[in-house]
Structure 1
Amino acid sequence: MTAQKPDIVFIITDQQRYDTIAALGASHMDTPNIDRLVKTGVSFEQCHVTAPSCVPCRASLFTGYYPHTNGVLANGQPWSRTWVSDLARAGYHCVNIGKMHTIPYDAKAGFHERYVVENKDRYLEGRWFFDEWDKALASHGLKKQQRETYRARPDYKDRLGAFTWDLPAALQSDNFIGETAKWWLETKPVEKPLFLTIGFPGPHPPYDPTPEMAEKYMARDVPVPDVSDEELAALAGPWIAKREHDVEVDHDSVAWKLDPTPEELRRMRAYYYANMEMIDTQVGRILDALEARGNMENTIVIFTSDHGDNLGDHGLSQKWAPYEEVTRVPMIVSAPGRFAGGRTVSEMVQLFDLGPTILEWAGVAPDPSFEAISLNPALEGAPFAGRDHVFCEQAGDVNMTGASYLTMVRSATHKLVHFRGSEEGQLFDLVADPGERVNLWDDPEQAGVKQALLGTLLDFHIESTVRTRNARHLIVSPPGEEVWQ
Structure 2
Amino acid sequence: MTQRPDIVMIVTDQQRYDTIRALGASHMDTPNIDRLAETGVSFSECHVTAPSCVPCRASLFTGYYPHTNGVVANGQPWNRTWVSDLAAAGYHCVNIGKMHTIPYDAKAGFHERYVVENKDRFMEGRWFFDEWDKALAAHGLKKQQRVEYRKRDDYRDRLGAFTWDLPPQLQSDNFVGGMARWWLETKPVKEPLFMVIGFPGPHPPYDPTPEIAEKYMARDVPLPEVTEAEMQALHPVFKEKRRHDVEVDHDSVAWKLDPTREELHRMRAYYYANVEMIDREVGAIMDTLEARGNLDNTIVIFTSDHGDCLGDHGLIQKWAPYDEVTRVPLIVSAPGWFEGGRSVDALVQFFDLGPTILEWAGVTPDATFEAQSLNPALEGAPFEGRSHVFCEQGGDVNLTGAEYLTMVRSRTHKLVHFKGMEQGQLFDLQADPRETDDRWDDPACAGVRADLMGVLMNWHIDSAVHTKNARRRIVSHGGPDNIQDGG
TM-score by length of 1: 0.99
Quote the residue 2:444 is aligned against: 445
Q: CA deviation at 1:482?
A: 4.9
In 2, Cα distance between equivalents of 1:467 and 1:447: 30
Structure 1 residue 123: Cα displacement: 0.2
Q: Map of 1:108-257 to 2, 5 A cutoff?
A: 108-257=107-256
The corresponding residue for 2:461 is: 462
What does residue 33 of structure 1 align with?
32
Distance in 1 between residues matched to 2:165 and 2:145, nearest whole Å: 12
Match of 1:261 in 2: 260
**CA–CA distance in structure 1, aligned partners of residues 268 and 473 of structure 2:** 42
Q: Which residue, 473, 476, 482 being the options, matches 1:478?
A: 482
The residue type equivalent to 2:482 in the other structure is P
Match of 1:52, as an amino acid? P
| Aligned residue in 1 for 2:369 | 370
Deviations 1:221-253 (A, max 9, x none): 100000000001100000000000000000000
Deviations 1:441-465 (A, max 9, x none): 0011100000000000000000000
2:108–2:486 Cα contact (<8 Å) kept? no
In structure 2, what is the equivalent of residue 61 of structure 1?
A: 60
Aligned to 2:17: 18
1:275 is the counterpart of 2:279: no
- Aligned AA for 1:46? E
Deviations 1:401-428 (A, max 9, x none): 2111000000000000000000110000
Cα distance in 2 between the residues matched to 1:56 and 1:465: 18
Q: Report the equivalent of 1:434.
A: 433
In the superposition, the TM-score normalised over structure 2's length comes to: 0.98
User: What is the Cα deviation at residue 382 of structure 1?
Assistant: 0.3
Count of residue pairs the alignment pairs up:
482
Q: Structure 1, residues 117-145: CA drift from partner, whole Å, max 9, x if none?
A: 00000000000000000000000000110
**Match in the other structure for 1:323:** 322
Contact 2:79 2:485 in 1 (8 A): no
Instruction: After TM superposition, list the pairs within 5 Å mapping 1:3-14 onto structure 2.
Output: 3-14=2-13
Secondary structure of 1:471 counterpart? helix
Equivalent residues of 2:106, 2:485 under 8 A apart: no
> Match for 2:309: what amino acid?
N
Match of 2:477 in 1: none
Counterpart position of 1:293: 292
* Aligned equivalent of 1:380: 379
Give the C-alpha shift of residue 473 in structure 1: 3.9
Identify if the C-alpha distance between structure 1 residues 480 and 296 changes in structure 2 by more than 3 Å, giving closer, same or farther.
closer
Residue 481 (structure 1) shift: 3.6
Structure 1: state its 5+ residue gaps. none
Check the 8 A contact 2:80/2:486 in 1, yes or no.
Answer: no
Task: Please give the alpha-carbon distance, in whole angstroms, between the structure 2 residues aligned to 1:313 and 1:252.
Answer: 18
Which letter maps to 2:4? Answer: K
Q: Is the 8 A contact 2:80 2:484 kept in 1?
A: no
Could you report, residue by residue, the CA deviation over 1:235-291 in whole angstroms, capped at 9, with x for unpaired residues? 000000000000000000000000000000000000000000000000000000000
Aligned to 1:402: 401
SS in structure 2 of the partner of residue 304 of structure 1: strand
Pick closer, same or farther for the CA change 1:19–1:75 going to 2, 3 Å: same
Contact 2:81 2:486 in 1 (8 A): no
Equivalent residue number for residue 311 of structure 1: 310
Give, as a single letter, the amino acid of the residue that structure 2 aligns with 1:256. W
Determine the C-alpha separation between the residues in 2 that align with 1:270 and 1:478.
42
Q: 2-side partners of 1:356 and 1:158: how far apart?
A: 44
Aligned to 2:354: 355
State the match for 1:339 in structure 2: 338
Q: What residue identity is the alignment partner of 1:425?
A: G
Tell me, in whole angstroms, the C-alpha distance in 2 between the residues paired with 1:138 and 1:404: 40
Distance 2:224 2:371 in 1: 34
Q: CA deviation at 1:478?
A: 3.4
Matches of 2:469 and 2:202, distance apart in 1: 38
Does the 8 Å contact 2:77/2:481 carry over to 1?
no
- The residue that corresponds to 1:391 in the other structure is 390
Structure 1 pair 466–479 and aligned structure 2 pair: CA distance change class (3 A): closer
3-state SS in 1 of match to 2:468: coil
Distance change in 2, residues 1:175/1:151 (3 Å):
same
Structure 1 moving runs of 4+ over 3 Å: 477-482
Q: How far did residue 477 of structure 1 move? A: 4.7
Q: Which amino acid aligns with 1:292?
A: A
Write the letter of the residue equivalent to 1:413. Answer: T
CA distance in 1, matches of 2:486, 2:205: 35
Q: CA deviation at 1:479?
A: 7.6
- Contact preservation (8 Å) 2:5, 2:298: yes
- Helix, strand or coil for the counterpart of 1:409? strand
Cα distance in structure 2, aligned partners of 1:137 and 1:400: 32
Would you say the 8 A contact 2:92–2:189 is kept in 1? yes
- Asked if structure 1 preserves the Cα contact closer than 8 Å seen for 2:237 and 2:402, the reply is yes
How far off is 1:480 after superposition? 8.0
C-alpha separation between the residues in 2 aligned to 1:469 and 1:143? 48
Q: Percent identity between the aligned chains?
A: 77
SS at match of 2:319: coil
